[in-house]
Amino acid sequence: MERQYYTAKEAMEILKKPNATFYREVKAGLIPHVGKRPNMRFPKEAIDALAEVGTFDQEETTLTFIPSTIASAWEKQEMAHPYEDQDLVPFKNVLEWRKVNSELSMDVREGNKLRGWITFLPLDEKIILALIHDKMREKDIPLRAIKRWSEKQLSVYIPIIEVILSGNKGKDRRIGVYLLKKAIKWAISLTIRYDIKNWYSIGVTTDGQAILETLGFKEIASLEGGKRKAYMLETKIQPVRLVSAILNTMEEQKALPEKAASKVKTTRIVFQDQNPVIKR
């Protein structure tokens, strides 16, 4: 009778995967198995099929979208320090904001490596309007302006969506698409759970502006001859229809133009020769 299971070593050889990758994918549910280490067995039919058809693109399956921690907040701060940007929000302010609302940022990680992030700031609307009309910098946002998600009639400012460049355009693009998809779902989840009336952001690149417009944001102000544009999205737009439309657009149009692979951010961050330069 033909054997029905492979050993781990046999499965690794058939799938041509090194030990670490193999067990990481087993843990992620990408490779069927029975039992636990060190006695795992791998269904012959499943392993043979994976070897023939090929495994799925592992790029996205190894990414996670998780809440930012204090440590990751400092990691982002360290990335900006070499450029001595006068508008950088002091780390003390970031900690004070987190004490008011600890759910302001989400990170994209590949294992332990930070690959990107997004921040949603529920703020006093007067402060948001001052920001988008260039009358205030983010470092000057007063602590009293930060809101809790449980408060009524919230307005949310999106200061940044960023992908950390790896030098691999294809990979950066895939991470950018992943970040956008997860950010949209997070925004919709917040909109369903809380009383959010308006979303605001600033596009400082043509790609950032195109992303915001695709998501349904309407231009409300133009600065610096159109180089910086402020946008608003009212939540009366049906969120389910909105997310369906954008996800379909991503699939049909490959999500972003090739040149936008390293420019998945709406405000603050632009790139020059693949080096981050924080601007306003």
Task: Check pLDDT > 80 for residue 185.
Answer: yes
Name the packing angle between helices 44-53 and 8-15 (round to 10°): 20
Name the packing angle between helices 239-252 and 169-193 (round to 10°): 170
Eight-state DSSP code of residue 88 = P
Least confident of 149-163, 177-191, 235-249: 235-249
Task: Check pLDDT > 60 for residue 258.
Answer: no
pLDDT for res 3: 62
- pLDDT, one tens digit per residue, over 34-49 is 998 888 999 999 999 9
State the average pLDDT over residues 1-25. 86
The residue among 168 and 81 whose pLDDT is bigger is: 168
pLDDT for res 157: 96
pLDDT for res 165: 86
Task: Check pLDDT > 50 for residue 271.
Answer: no
Whether the bond between 43 and the residue before it is cis, its omega within 30 degrees of 0, is no
Smallest CA-to-CA distance from 172 within 25, 68, 274 is with: 274
Spans of all domains in the chain: 5-54, 60-278
Least confident of 96-110, 147-161, 179-193, 222-236: 222-236
Per-residue pLDDT band for 105 (boundaries 50, 70, 90) equals: very high
Look at domain 60-278 and name its CATH class.
Answer: alpha beta
pTM: 0.67
Q: What is the DSSP string of 211-271?
A: HHHHTT-EEEEEEGGGTEEEEEEETTS-HHHHHHHHHHHHHHTTSS-GGGGG---SSSEEE
Alpha-carbon distance of 53 to 276, in angstroms, equals 39
Alpha-carbon distance of 171 to 173, in angstroms, equals 5
Per-residue pLDDT band for 147 (boundaries 50, 70, 90) equals: very high
Task: Check pLDDT > 50 for residue 261.
Answer: no
The residue among 220 and 211 whose pLDDT is bigger is: 220
Alpha-carbon distance of 137 to 280, in angstroms, equals 9
pLDDT for res 58: 54
Mean pLDDT of the chain: 80
Task: Check pLDDT > 50 for residue 277.
Answer: no
